[in-house]
Structure 1
């Protein structure tokens, strides 16, 4: 297409695999833990199978692709369960917020479900891909339309890459249908440019927000850790904010 493509590497790879859990989970939920090396996430497939997405420095990711399945499983369980030293400043701040929330009756009182343990991986499911930020300045040309990862790439920590792609497809299909109804050819640039404008207005702010989250979670200084921990705790405690975020994250899939 000879169009500009803005990108930068995160110097990480996303290690993926299909995991067998040690025991079935009663409540099927997704798990994500932010580690010093990058987030590890388990996305449920069934009550005993999960899909792994583990963001790691490139050298470590390549190493884990070569180790035995037993060592790979041990590394996953260690990443899920390892207890790291806690900073006194962060702990004091979190206790103060906890007391404040209890005083305001904002705690949900929900019982916390522990993260699962992994017993094995599905043979042949282990792989990895480089993590990048990428965005095409133009999504369309005569006879050509970019959707999904061809148009944009984001860090998987927010789980929004596939949603952005679904949104592209939905808007494009709607506009192509409109073109057909109005008697225009499918490649009419008026409709294609409209697709490009609508999707870039939506995609770009979300992409930069995800990039900002990635940079925030890379920080290990106590003030940064405290700020993001307080933010997550407040988000979880305030129903209106929590519901809005959940609906935004899942709305695109639900509407399909």
Structure 2
């Protein structure tokens, strides 16, 4: 009996050693630790085309992963290397990071830089319809052990990511990179091996790699190079952003969003006296809002938040009946609502606008190529999910790639690439379609559709498991 136990134990140890040896061998085929980037003469294991928040986070995640620490990684960042300075006034471009993104940033030691600077937690959320009394609200204590989201300035988050990325030894960064062309990898006959890709720069330099990752935004050249079909359309809307000063100091941990007939207007908390505006509206109104004097702009914004819009009496009667019925059966009726803050003025020169659109790449991968972030998907900002979907790509891509190499498979083995595509599309596509459907449903003021969406919102707000399911999907 003792002999059998010893034999079994030795077999397990030998199996583990064999697996580790395969993993080390697979990595050594790609590169040798401590060789130094300069010895590669343009040859890398992974090239990330495009920086930004998603591309830089991916480079940081790959570089810090213990299994991937031997890989030589090149990040081609189109923007120059700018010096960051934290200013007293908040930037007008912010992101709402969900708990899953926070966990990713914490694992990379990025979050501590954000916390030491500034961020604002979102503990409550209230969304309501301007054409009826329908409302839905979320409280972090009802659904999570964490806050619903965190509002962080784009520039601050980018700086925090770059701070950690600069410490990663196996990642080389080329700033101001201008890519001229790609020569993509091809699968060799009767083999999973790929020939490798080449990236040709405008200055004549050429880099080669086994795995090319496109993190180059909605107009991705990498996506175009692999010939992926891209489903896209522009909404007849622009997103107007600004930094707002509130009329009164508040705890300000609530995100507010009101659906107007022309699009949603949202206030995201920054601190006790300031909020960030994201106002989705028509091109014509957006242009007018940008031209208005500050006082008139503030008046227009307060009207958007408080004004009583024309309503259908039949819709009001039906929603009132549904509210009464919900109260009778002991469910939340939405009657207990908070009032949004009033805006006093806006920060100087903080108004800007950008076009809104939808985009979905039917393929996230090709032989030796993968797409992440806006290169693979683009959504309306009404749910604050765009960048979180990209960070989800980073998390899953890094984990799958590490598991692949640890299993002894090649860097470009199709099994993990296909699994990455399947895993991310199962999460991203339903989210994109749901956000697009909400946009379309709330940009019409036809009484039958207003009634339909209002009752749907009331019932959703009343049923806790449904709200929990929505929040669970939005925060992972």
TM-score, normalized by length of structure 1?
A: 0.90
Q: Provide the rounded CA distance (Å) in 2 between the counterparts of 1:205 and 1:248.
A: 10
Pairing partner for 2:341 from 116, 132, 141: 116
SS in 1 for 2:286: helix
Displacement of 1:191: 1.9
Q: Provide the rounded CA distance (Å) in 2 between the counterparts of 1:121 and 1:12.
A: 22
Residue 245 of structure 2 corresponds to residue 245 of structure 1: no
Distance 1:207 1:119, change over 3 A: same
Displacement of 1:98: 1.6
CA-atom RMSD, angstroms? 2.0
Residue 413 of structure 2 corresponds to residue 191 of structure 1: no
Is the Cα–Cα contact under 8 Å of residues 252 and 273 in structure 2 kept in the other structure? no
Residue 258 of structure 2 corresponds to residue 33 of structure 1: yes
Residue 450 of structure 2 corresponds to residue 225 of structure 1: yes
Distance 1:27 1:20, change over 3 A: closer
SS in 2 for 1:86: coil
**Structure 1: tracts of 5 or more residues without a match:** none
Greater fraction of residues in helix: 1
Displacement of 1:70: 2.4
**Structure 2: tracts of 5 or more residues without a match:** 1-224
Provide, for residues 196-244 of structure 1, a one-character-per-residue CA deviation record: whole Å limited to 9, x for no partner.
1211122112211221111111221111111111111111122222222
SS in 2 for 1:130: strand
Provide, for residues 75-130 of structure 1, a one-character-per-residue CA deviation record: whole Å limited to 9, x for no partner.
21111111112211111101111211111011378842101111222333322111
Residue 302 of structure 2 corresponds to residue 74 of structure 1: no
Residue 425 of structure 2 corresponds to residue 200 of structure 1: yes
Is the Cα–Cα contact under 8 Å of residues 243 and 277 in structure 2 kept in the other structure? yes
SS in 1 for 2:254: coil
Provide, for residues 148-184 of structure 1, a one-character-per-residue CA deviation record: whole Å limited to 9, x for no partner.
2221111122222222222211111111221232234
Q: Provide the rounded CA distance (Å) in 1 between the counterparts of 2:390 and 2:247.
A: 33
Distance 1:187 1:69, change over 3 A: farther
SS in 2 for 1:106: coil
Displacement of 1:142: 4.4
Q: Provide the rounded CA distance (Å) in 2 between the counterparts of 1:182 and 1:190.
A: 12
Matches within 5 A, 1:101-180: 101-107=326-332, 111-180=336-405
Q: Provide the rounded CA distance (Å) in 2 between the counterparts of 1:134 and 1:50.
A: 29
Pairing partner for 2:282 from 44, 53, 57: 57
Residue 236 of structure 2 corresponds to residue 11 of structure 1: yes
Distance 1:192 1:113, change over 3 A: same
Displacement of 1:15: 1.0
Displacement of 1:132: 0.8
SS in 2 for 1:224: helix
Is the Cα–Cα contact under 8 Å of residues 334 and 458 in structure 2 kept in the other structure? no
Distance 1:179 1:82, change over 3 A: same
SS in 2 for 1:114: coil
Q: Provide the rounded CA distance (Å) in 1 between the counterparts of 2:385 and 2:344.
A: 28
Q: Provide the rounded CA distance (Å) in 1 between the counterparts of 2:400 and 2:464.
A: 36
TM-score, normalized by length of structure 2?
A: 0.50
Total equivalences in the alignment:
251
Distance 1:235 1:166, change over 3 A: same
Is the Cα–Cα contact under 8 Å of residues 233 and 357 in structure 2 kept in the other structure? yes
Please tell me whether Structure 1 or Structure 2 has the larger radius of gyration of its CA atoms: 2
